């Protein structure tokens, strides 16, 4: 403990040195911008910035890039809440209840809670990173393809049950997303699937163009068809801050989102977007009024926004503790160190205490900076809603196109975004939720890969899924979920889905 405090002091003295402090703030600023701009996510932002860190010393470079990574999680919620356009893929869930809150004139509280939740999650998970990194990382490595597949199977089940509206429609949307996710090179055999000779489709259709298309473009198209603009445009100062009730409702979702996000973030190969879906589903399951989800429940903002911040921190655990790049963002961060001749490995924390503890301390500072930056920004961002649609929407459209193009400098991506926008518009008109489609696109390649890797490991025997304990636990939980869903059939009583249907019937009368 004493040693940790001593190390942390070293870290703070590193982080507070003028140069490093400047780069931490720069990273947070750029990260917020990257998060706000639709399309450009943390990966694209960090990739674009990587070359500019070659001239810096490694500590400053890592502090800058990590700042962009967690800073993006703060910014991502802004456009999701105000315009229903995910600023980056991990903010898709925030679109649902965040935007519903904005329509009710509670955009300010939604933004504020997103910032506060991000701050709590960011800070708490840095503590986790500091104390638990090495043992957790070793545990996470044991998480192989069978465990991963079982976890995702459980996740899909939870979602099918938890998303609002018609279950059949939701399942159909998940399957549609999974089918979209089949496009691209089959990683096990090298075959091209459904790519029709377009080489750029080899990697499948990316989640960014799908998310921006289904949410952003579809929203713009739908608005053009609405004669009335939603009446949310004159926020008073009192409306900018969450009410006491809203604070109270957010405390536990933030706490749960933090823990869930951190744990999911550590698992090698997982995307932080998954943590937001899981958190949303968990909050809905635990809520006393699940029927409010989708209509502006603050828990639906607080949980996922905390989860994605904690997950981004969790993703750094295996990278810093073991030097293993478990995802694309940590891989770029590792490259930023390698370029300076530092080869991270299990000895990294011991050999490079200045870099490790400097980064930790800079993350504490960065989260404070981001909170101080984002809370006042709420008042500014909210004024975007005052801009007339005829000016605002062409601008958003332009940012969507530029953002999506910039990720891979690919016109094909812009095409995918446009098609998805049209599809999203049609689906909205028929009252289908589009979030499950995005989820399917994200999960399909991971589920397929882990299933087939697991079967390759077991030489085709499905026994591998229940012989490995962690995997078995997930599968048993999935089974319980199904039984739970069947309970109303056996016992008399209504679960929230019934109540939701009844409420709808009442509305119609």
Partner 1 sequence: MKKRTWMMLAPAILAFGMLSSALLLADTYPSRPIQIIVPFPPGGVADLVARPAAAGLEKQLKQPVAVVNKPGAAGAVGMQSAAVSKPDGYTLLSALVSISVIPEVDALFGRPRTYKREDFAPIALLSADPMIVVVKKESPFKSMADIAAEAKRRPGEIMYSSSGIYGATHVPTEMWAHAAGVKMRHIPTPGGGPALTALLGGHVDILFSVPIIAYGQIKSGDLRPLAVTSDKRLAAYPDVPTLKELGYDVEYYIWCGLFAPQATPKEAIKVLRDAVRQVVATPEFKNAMEKMNTPIDYRDADEFKKFWDADAERLIKILPHIGKVQ
Residues of this chain that interact with partner 1 (CB under 8 A) are 47-48, 50-51, 54, 141-145, 184-185, 187-192, 197, 199-200, 202-203, 268-269, 318, 322-328, 330-332, 334-336, 338-341, 343-348, 408-410, 449, 453, 456-457, 459
Give the CA distances from residue 327 to residues 79, 101, 243, 270, 388, in Å, rounded to whole numbers and listed in that order.
Answer: 25, 33, 38, 7, 41
Q: Which of 64, 99, 71 is nearest to 85 (CA)?
A: 99
CB of 266 to partner 1, least distance (A): 12
First and final C-alpha spacing in the chain: 64
Q: Which of 112, 122, 118 is nearest to 381 (CA)?
A: 112
CB of 464 to partner 1, least distance (A): 11
Check the CA dihedral 337-339-340-346 and report its sign.
positive
CB of 31 to partner 1, least distance (A): 17
- Closest to partner 1 by CB, 196 vs 430, is 196
CB atoms < 10 A from the CB of 268, how many? Answer: 20
- Closest to partner 1 by CB, 278 vs 455, is 455
- Closest to partner 1 by CB, 338 vs 494, is 338
CB of 324 to partner 1, least distance (A): 5
Separation between Cα atoms, residue 240 and residue 110, nearest integer Å: 9
Place of tokens 């933090």: 258
Separation between Cα atoms, residue 220 and residue 91, nearest integer Å: 18
In this structure, the chain runs to a length of: 509
- Closest to partner 1 by CB, 58 vs 235, is 58
CB of 145 to partner 1, least distance (A): 7
CB of 313 to partner 1, least distance (A): 19
Q: Could you say which DSSP state residue 242 is in?
A: P
CB of 272 to partner 1, least distance (A): 16
CB of 141 to partner 1, least distance (A): 4
Give the CA distances from residue 313 to residues 30, 209, 475, in Å, rounded to whole numbers and listed in that order.
Answer: 17, 25, 27
CB of 178 to partner 1, least distance (A): 18
- Closest to partner 1 by CB, 225 vs 460, is 460
CB of 187 to partner 1, least distance (A): 6
Q: Which of 210, 185, 364 is nearest to 273 (CA)?
A: 210
- Closest to partner 1 by CB, 371 vs 447, is 447
- Closest to partner 1 by CB, 68 vs 110, is 68
Separation between Cα atoms, residue 57 and residue 39, nearest integer Å: 30
Separation between Cα atoms, residue 209 and residue 5, nearest integer Å: 45
Separation between Cα atoms, residue 221 and residue 29, nearest integer Å: 31
Please state the three-class secondary structure of 379-426 as a single string: HHHHHHHHCCHHHHHHHHHHHHHHHHHHHHCCHHHHHHHHHHHHHHHH
- Closest to partner 1 by CB, 22 vs 191, is 191
CB of 418 to partner 1, least distance (A): 19
- Closest to partner 1 by CB, 322 vs 355, is 322
- Closest to partner 1 by CB, 162 vs 336, is 336
Six token digits for residue 335 = 């490259």
Give the CA distances from residue 22 to residues 164, 251, 300, in Å, rounded to whole numbers and listed in that order.
Answer: 44, 32, 34
Q: What is the dihedral of CA 191, 192, 194, 200, to 10 degrees?
A: 160
- Closest to partner 1 by CB, 191 vs 498, is 191
Which residues on adjacent β-strands are paired with residue 193?
Answer: 184
């Amino acid at each position: 403990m004493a040693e940790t405090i001593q190390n942390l002091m070293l870290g703070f003295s590193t982080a507070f040195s003028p140069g490093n402090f400047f780069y931490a703030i720069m990273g947070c600023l750029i990260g917020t911008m990257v998060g706000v701009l639709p399309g450009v996510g943390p990966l694209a932002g960090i990739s674009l910035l990587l070359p500019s860190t070659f001239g810096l010393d490694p500590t400053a470079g890592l502090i800058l890039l990590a700042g962009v990574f967690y800073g993006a999680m703060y910014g991502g919620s802004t456009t999701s809440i105000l315009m229903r356009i995910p600023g980056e893929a991990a903010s898709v869930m925030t679109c649902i209840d965040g935007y519903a809150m904005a329509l009710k004139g509670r955009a300010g509280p939604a933004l504020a809670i997103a910032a506060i939740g991000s701050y709590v999650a960011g800070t708490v998970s840095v503590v986790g990173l500091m104390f638990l990194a090495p043992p957790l990382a070793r545990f996470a490595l044991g998480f192989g393809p069978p465990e991963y597949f079982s976890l995702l199977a459980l996740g899909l089940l939870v979602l099918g049950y938890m998303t609002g509206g018609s279950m059949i429609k939701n399942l159909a949307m998940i399957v549609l997303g999974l089918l979209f996710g089949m496009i691209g090179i089959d990683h096990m055999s090298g075959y091209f699937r459904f790519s029709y000779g377009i080489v750029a489709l080899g990697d499948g259709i990316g989640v960014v163009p799908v998310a921006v298309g289904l949410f952003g473009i579809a929203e713009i198209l739908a608005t053009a068809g609405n004669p009335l603009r939603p009446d949310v445009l004159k926020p008073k100062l009192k409306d900018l801050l969450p009410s006491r009730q809203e604070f109270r409702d957010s405390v536990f979702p933030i706490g749960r989102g933090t823990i869930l996000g951190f744990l999911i973030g550590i698992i090698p190969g997982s995307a932080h977007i998954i943590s937001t879906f899981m958190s949303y589903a968990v909050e809905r399951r635990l809520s006393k009024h699940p029927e409010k989800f989708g209509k502006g429940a603050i828990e639906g903002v607080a949980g996922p926004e905390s989860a994605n911040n904690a997950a981004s921190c969790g993703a750094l655990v295996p990278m810093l503790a073991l030097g293993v790049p478990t995802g694309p963002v940590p891989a770029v961060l590792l490259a930023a160190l390698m370029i300076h001749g530092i080869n991270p490995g299990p000895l990294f924390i011991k050999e490079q205490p200045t870099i490790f503890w400097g980064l930790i301390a800079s993350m504490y500072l960065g989260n404070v900076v981001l909170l101080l930056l984002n809370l006042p920004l709420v008042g500014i961002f909210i004024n975007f809603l005052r801009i007339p649609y005829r000016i605002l929407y062409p601008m958003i459209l332009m940012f969507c196109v530029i953002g999506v193009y910039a990720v891979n400098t690919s016109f094909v991506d812009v095409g995918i975004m446009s098609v998805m926008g049209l599809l999203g518009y049609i689906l909205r008109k028929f009252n289908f939720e589009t979030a499950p489609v995005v989820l399917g696109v994200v999960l399909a390649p991971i589920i397929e890969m882990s299933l087939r890797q697991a079967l390759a490991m077991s030489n085709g025997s499905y026994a591998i899924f229940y012989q490995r304990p962690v995997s078995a636990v997930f599968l048993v939980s999935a089974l319980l979920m199904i039984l739970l869903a069947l309970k109303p059939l056996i016992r008399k009583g209504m679960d929230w889905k019934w109540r939701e249907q009844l409420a709808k019937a009442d509305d119609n009368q």
